[in-house]
Structure 1
Amino acid sequence: MTVWDRPEPTARPVPLDRERIVAAAIALADEGGLEAVSLRKVAARLDVGPMRLYGYISTKEELFDLMVDEVHAEILPEERSGDWREVLRIRAHRTRSATLRHEWLADLLGGRPTLGPNALAVNETTLAALDGLADLDTVLRAVETVGAYFTGAIRREVADLRAERATGLSKLDWQRASGPYVSRMLATGRFPALAKAIHDGTEVDAETSFTTGLEWVLDAVAAKLARPSS
């Protein structure tokens, strides 16, 4: 039985429900990451005994599932679009925005399917927009491909942000500190393609990189959807 199947306990002297528990857990995670979340700490935030929580949540993994589903309410588009490409584009950008607000989400993206009502609604909106454009397996692979792109790109962006905080060096500071070593390595002539990329390539910000890559992936999906299945 999933946490969504299991009814909440009846009212007790101190008001408590899963909504308050999840809100407290998200606040802790926003402040200190997933490592800051435990049933004991959530109980302390709510000023109740830890055992009180077990009537609502059995494990920390269930709590994480509830937290992820709560954030999916932020990902769910406000209006439905009939354009499959726009639906996937909005999902990708809203997932990125939600993750930048709740960095801990990056650690839980791309794992087992999320089965909460908000996550199911996000998936329903996505699949409904692609319904009838190709056979079902092609549609599913298209959604997986776009999801794999934005999940990987988001996780990489969050990893960069965490590294910047951990070292105290901005990306530019890090490049400057690494510059002498990189210049010596490139001067050996062993890495001509890399040297060209570093010297002639255009530096773009994270949002531009994310948007450009997403559009390329959507172009590839569009070409596949337009091709008759073999």
Structure 2
Amino acid sequence: MSSQIPQMPEQPPAVPRAVSNPWKIATFCLTGALLATSAALVYTVADDESPYAGATVDPSPSIWQDDRPRTAPEPVEPESPTPSPSPSAGFKVGEEARNRGAVVTIKKVRETSSIIMSGTTKKAGSGAKYVVLETVVFNDTKASMDLTCGLPIVNNLLDEEGRRYDTIDDLYEVADNPQCNDQLQPGFKDAMLFVYRVPEGAKITAWEFSEYDLASDREPSIVQLSGVAT
């Protein structure tokens, strides 16, 4: 007699729970759809009214944006350049020509082939001539002037080609000139010969001078000499 263990009946499959109320599910889905549609409409209207509508860059403020209030910079007026003194070009022979404290009157302009220096005749040489300016210098500065060994008056003789000539050396040796270290005191005047050696064919047009000053560049005063040399 065989003994068999009786088999247990298989577990019946679970029966899905029936939806208790299908209308609730339908109502929930419909409500969700309406809410999504409303949100889309609100976003569309807000996007159309935004000043950044159609922009390709995100208009939202950056985390690096400077939110400090900005004020317009005050206008800065350009500084007016300091006008430089213009040269006085209207002086003529016989007039007092002034440059600050130096006042010079040219009495006569002459050309010569020789001059007297230290009691002897000195010739200009071949192809050259001397131009002599007979002047009176008035010292209207606050200090003395050494007219022949110092440089109280910076000067040049000009010709029609724009060339500038310096005076000859050792003006104190020229007859009738002040001696070296003769100090023309403020408020006094003295006769002075300015002598230049120039090419024989040079046509002299003007004389320029200025009071000597290391502290600043000064525009020269100009005396017209065209046609006055004899």
Give the TM interval when normalised to the shorter protein.
Answer: under 0.3
Q: Which structure's CA Rg is the greater one?
A: 2
Q: TM-score, normalised by structure 1?
A: 0.22
Q: Tell me which protein shows more helix as a share of its residues.
A: 1
Determine which structure has greater relative contact order: mean sequence separation of CA pairs < 8 Å that are 6+ residues apart, divided by chain length: 2
